[in-house]
Structure 1
C-alpha cells in the first residue's frame, strides 16, 4: 500500500528559493533551515542585502483569515512602537504570499539572545511591554482566531491520544481516570477566578519568543496569537519553586501595571493553563506524527517511559490545582 507523502515533503530547497524570488527578492542561493517543527522556517540569502527569514505555514493549520489576523495584530503593535517583529509587506499587498501550494511570510532577520530573567529589571521591562501589548490587544477582538479554553483543549487532546492508540495499554486506565479529576479541578479554579477579561494575546509568550538585542527586547513568533486572559502571556515566564515564581510574578506584574491593570484573580488560572499546555503538547506530537520530522526528532514519544512520566506530571498538576495559586508579593 502506497503511503501518501506529507505536504512538507514537497517543500524542496528549490521551491523555497523560487518562492522568495517570486516575492521580489534576488536570492543568492544560500539557504539555512531554522529550528521549527510546526511550520518550516528558513534563512534565505539575498543579493547585496541582509538575509531574510521565510516562514512556510503548515498546510491546513490556520485559515487565510486567521493568518491575516495574526499579521494585522503584529502590524498594530509595530505602529504603536512596540518591539514586535512583524512580516515584511508583499508586493501585491498584505503580508502573505502563495507559492507551490504553500502560504508564506517573509521577515527581517533579527538576532538576539534569551533575556536573563535572574535580573529583576529584565522581568520588570518584559512586564511593561506586555502591558503595552495588551493595551493594543484590548482595542478589538479577533474574529477568526480561537479563544483559549482549557477544558475543551484537554478533552480534545486526551480523546485523540487515546483513540489513536498512543497511550500504552497498561497505562490507559491510569491516564483515563486522571482526566475527569483534572477537569473538575480546573473548573473549580475557573469559578474562583470569576469572569475575566478575554482579549487578543501573543499566546505563546515564553522566553524563547523574546529576544534581547543590544539591551532592546524583541517579541517574536505570534503564530499562536489568540483570545484569552492576560495571565496566559505571563505565566509561561515563571519557573522554579513557589517562592521563585512568586518573586518573578511580582516583577512582571509591577512592570505590567505601569501601563495596564492586572486582575489578581487571574492567578487562579495559572495551573489550569499549565495543565492544558502539558496535555496539549502530548496531543500535538500525536497530531503531527504523520510528519516524518516528528518521529525523527521525538523518538521517545512512542515509548512507555514518556507516558509514565507524563501521567506522573499530571498527578502532580492535580495536586497543584488544589493548592492556593501563586500570587505576587503583597504591599
Structure 2
C-alpha cells in the first residue's frame, strides 16, 4: 500500500451529481436516488437503474490500493463466481471491471439482498465451513502477486505508530496504554508463528457483517483480500465462551474438510490474529481521523472512557494469548 499522509480523506469532490455522471459514463442510468451503504474506508451507494435492477457503486479510497491490486481482487471474485461460489463479483462494463474518472477508481456491482448471518446457528456454520473450504480450494491455486500478505508490521507496528501519534490518546492514560500496547504487540509477535503453515489467497475479512444470508450465504466485500493462513477466514465466525467456540469451530471444520484439508497447527494463530485485529482496528480509526466521516461515526474514539476500556481489553487479550489454544473436539 502507498502512503496517504497528504490525502484529502473527505471525498469532498465526490458530489451526488458527479457520482451520477460517473455511473452513466459506464452505460448504467440511475432512476432512483443514491442510498449510502455502511462503508467508511470507501464510499458505497446503492441505486435502482432504468432497467429496474438494483446496483451498488463503490468508489475506492484514493491511493489505498493500486489498480493492479484492485484488479487482482476482481479476478479472484470472478474465479470464485465461475466456480459457482456465492461471491458478489463486480460487473464487466465496457470491457473492464475497474473504471477511472475525475481522480476516482470505481466499480459497479449487482445489489444482493439478504439478512444478517447468524453465527450461533450450527447448521449455518457448517454451511459456511463448506463454502470457505471451496473458496480456499480456489485460493490455493495461485497467490496474489500485487496484494500484500498478512504481516505483523502492517497489523501491529504501523497501527501502533498511528495510535502513539494520535492526539486523542488522553495524557492521563498515556503510560498505562503505551505499556499494555507494547506488551500485547510483543506477545503477539512471539505467538504468531507461521513456519510450515501455507498462505494463499483469502477473503481476508470474513466476518458476519460481510455475509448476507438468503437461502444460503452470499459473500461480499473482498476489499481486504490478501495472502494469509486459512484460519484467518474462520476465526472471526466464532463467538461466545470457550465451549461454544469449540463446538462452532468443530462444526465449521467438518464442513471445510469436505472440500479442503485443514492444518490443525493453525489453531494456535487464532488469539494472535485476534490481537492483531484489535490493534489494527484502533490504528485504522486513528489513521483515518482526518476524514470527516470518522469523527461523526466513531465519536467515542475521542472519549477517555473508550481508551480506558481498550486498556482492559488489551490486558484480557494478553492473558488469552497465554492460554491453551482451541483444539478440535473431533481430534483432527
Band the TM-score falls in, shorter-chain normalisation = over 0.9
Question: Contact 2:10–2:293 at 8 Å: present in 1 too?
Answer: no
Aligned to 2:55: 52
- In the TM superposition, 1:40-189 aligns within 5 A as 40-91=43-94, 93-150=95-152, 152-189=154-191
Question: Contact 1:131–1:256 at 8 Å: present in 2 too?
Answer: yes
Aligned to 2:277: 277
Aligned to 1:253: 253
| Post-superposition CA distance 1:282-317 (Å, at most 9, x none) | 111111111111111111101111111011100000
Aligned to 2:314: 314
Paired residues in the alignment total 326
Q: For 1:26, which of 24, 29, 39 is the aligned residue?
A: 29
The offset of 1:116, in angstroms, is 2.5
Aligned to 2:4: none
Ranges in structure 2 where 5+ consecutive residues have no aligned partner = 1-6
The offset of 1:161, in angstroms, is 1.3
| DSSP-derived class of the 2:40 partner | coil
* Separation (CA, whole Å) in 2 of partners of 1:5 and 1:290: 8
| DSSP-derived class of the 2:54 partner | strand
Question: Contact 2:202–2:233 at 8 Å: present in 1 too?
Answer: yes
Question: Contact 1:150–1:272 at 8 Å: present in 2 too?
Answer: no
| Post-superposition CA distance 1:239-272 (Å, at most 9, x none) | 1111111111011111000011111111111111
Question: Contact 2:208–2:237 at 8 Å: present in 1 too?
Answer: yes
Q: CA 1:176 to 1:142, structure 2 compared with 1: closer, same or farther past 3 Å?
A: same
The offset of 1:7, in angstroms, is 4.6
* Separation (CA, whole Å) in 1 of partners of 2:56 and 2:284: 25
* Separation (CA, whole Å) in 1 of partners of 2:115 and 2:241: 24
* Separation (CA, whole Å) in 2 of partners of 1:271 and 1:151: 17
| DSSP-derived class of the 2:230 partner | coil
Q: CA 1:5 to 1:178, structure 2 compared with 1: closer, same or farther past 3 Å?
A: closer
Question: Contact 2:188–2:276 at 8 Å: present in 1 too?
Answer: no
Question: Contact 2:119–2:239 at 8 Å: present in 1 too?
Answer: no
The offset of 1:165, in angstroms, is 2.8
Aligned to 1:219: 219
**RMSD (Å), alpha carbons:** 1.6
| Post-superposition CA distance 1:87-113 (Å, at most 9, x none) | 00021x221111221111000010001
* Separation (CA, whole Å) in 1 of partners of 2:39 and 2:184: 31
Aligned to 1:198: 199
Query: How does the TM-score come out when normalised to structure 2?
Result: 0.94
Question: Contact 1:17–1:29 at 8 Å: present in 2 too?
Answer: no
The offset of 1:117, in angstroms, is 2.9
Q: CA 1:99 to 1:152, structure 2 compared with 1: closer, same or farther past 3 Å?
A: closer
* Separation (CA, whole Å) in 2 of partners of 1:181 and 1:290: 28
| DSSP-derived class of the 1:27 partner | coil
The offset of 1:163, in angstroms, is 2.0
| Post-superposition CA distance 1:134-161 (Å, at most 9, x none) | 0100111101111112354212111221
| DSSP-derived class of the 1:9 partner | coil
The offset of 1:5, in angstroms, is 5.6
Aligned to 2:3: none
| DSSP-derived class of the 2:46 partner | strand
Q: CA 1:134 to 1:5, structure 2 compared with 1: closer, same or farther past 3 Å?
A: closer
Ranges in structure 1 where 5+ consecutive residues have no aligned partner = none
* Separation (CA, whole Å) in 2 of partners of 1:177 and 1:223: 32
* Separation (CA, whole Å) in 2 of partners of 1:5 and 1:178: 32
